[in-house]
Amino acid sequence: MGREAILKSVKENKPTLIPLPMLDLNNFKEDINLLEEFKEKVKLVGGSLKELSSSETLENEIKKLYPNAKEIVDCSNQSTSLATVTISEGTNPKDLQNIDLAIIKGEFGVSENGSVWISENTFPIRVLPFITNDLVIILEKEKLCLHMHDAFSLISERERTFGVFISGPSKTADIEQCLVVGAQGAMSLSVFLF
């Protein structure tokens, strides 16, 4: 098979070792308001964002935003009574095809690009955040980092299975460069900060 041939050929043809450069994170220090930056970027990437005030409940706000959602999966552990469908590790991913709304707990947000890191620890079926028609991510507003360098240091100790940075709803501009929100993944993304 190709393995030995490829490795041999690489070995013969590679240049002498060039050291791995170090990244100086001091170059990227920025004195900015993480929360404001994050909010701005979530909107830039086509998501919506709602910061809950003390008088508002998550449940009511989600209902307001998605009044027509029937099949709802809630993996957020925020003790809402919104869930109409329960799933577990054993659920067949294809059974999620009619889910209207999925609610997932985000682990942290990244201010520079409005993305939120979610991992398999917080939702039992990988396809859920993609196959659902609409996606709600719940995020504690203290859990924000500046940029992707910080993001990767935050997840460096995780159990590595599957995880994804999600930045806004699925989108495409493949027809004449016209941006259309709602391609193959979720049609909308709303981030709720509490």
Partner 1 sequence: MTHADKAAEFNKNEAKVNWHDKALWYVREKRDKSAHGVIGWEHIRDVASGIKANVLSNLDNYLIEFEKNALNNGIKVHWASDAKEHNEIVSKILADNNAKKVVKSKSMLTEECHLNPHLEAQDIEVVDTDLGEFIVQIAKETPSHIVLPAIHKTKEEVDDLFQEHIGTKPSEGNPEYLTNEARKHLRNKFLNADAAITGVNFAIAETGGIVVCTNEGNADMGSHLAKVHIASMGIEKIIPKEEHLGIFLRLLARSATGQPITTYSSLFNKPAEGKEMHIVIVDNGRTEQLSREDFRASLHCIRCGACMNTCPIYRRSGGHSYDATIPGPIGSILSPGKDLTKHSSLPFASTLCGSCSNVCPVKINIHEQLYKWRQVIVKDVKQPIVKKSILKVAGGVLANRKLYNFSGRMARFMLKYAPRFIVYSKLNAWGKARDLPEVKGQNFDQWYKVKRKNNG
Cα angle for residues 156, 78, 186 (degrees, 5° grid): 70
**Of 55, 68, 156, 157, which lies in the binding site for partner 1, with binding defined by CB under 8 A?**
156
Residue 102 and residue 75 in contact, taking contact as beta carbons nearer than 8 Å: yes
Least separation in angstroms between residue 69's CB and partner 1 is 18
Q: Which range of residues in 69-77, 78-86, 100-108, 179-187 is near partner 1 by CB under 8 A?
A: 179-187
Tokens 């889910």 label which residue? Answer: 99
Site for partner 1 in 69-98 (CB under 8 A): 89, 93-94, 97
Q: How far apart are CA 123 and CA 105, in angstroms?
A: 8
Site for partner 1 in 53-72 (CB under 8 A): none
Asked if 114 touches partner 1 (CB under 8 A), the answer is: yes
Asked if 102 touches partner 1 (CB under 8 A), the answer is: no
Asked if 185 touches partner 1 (CB under 8 A), the answer is: yes
For 123, the token pair is 């939702």
With contacts defined by CB under 8 A, how many residues of the chain interact with partner 1? 76
- Return the sign of the alpha-carbon dihedral for residues 143, 146, 148, 153: negative
**Of 1, 53, 54, 79, which lies in the binding site for partner 1, with binding defined by CB under 8 A?**
1
**Of 72, 75, 186, 193, which lies in the binding site for partner 1, with binding defined by CB under 8 A?**
186
Asked if 164 touches partner 1 (CB under 8 A), the answer is: yes
Residue 80 and residue 66 in contact, taking contact as beta carbons nearer than 8 Å: no
**Of 43, 63, 143, 147, which lies in the binding site for partner 1, with binding defined by CB under 8 A?**
147
Phi, psi (5° rounding) for residue 145?
Answer: -125, 165
Cβ atoms within 10 A of the Cβ of 122, count? 19
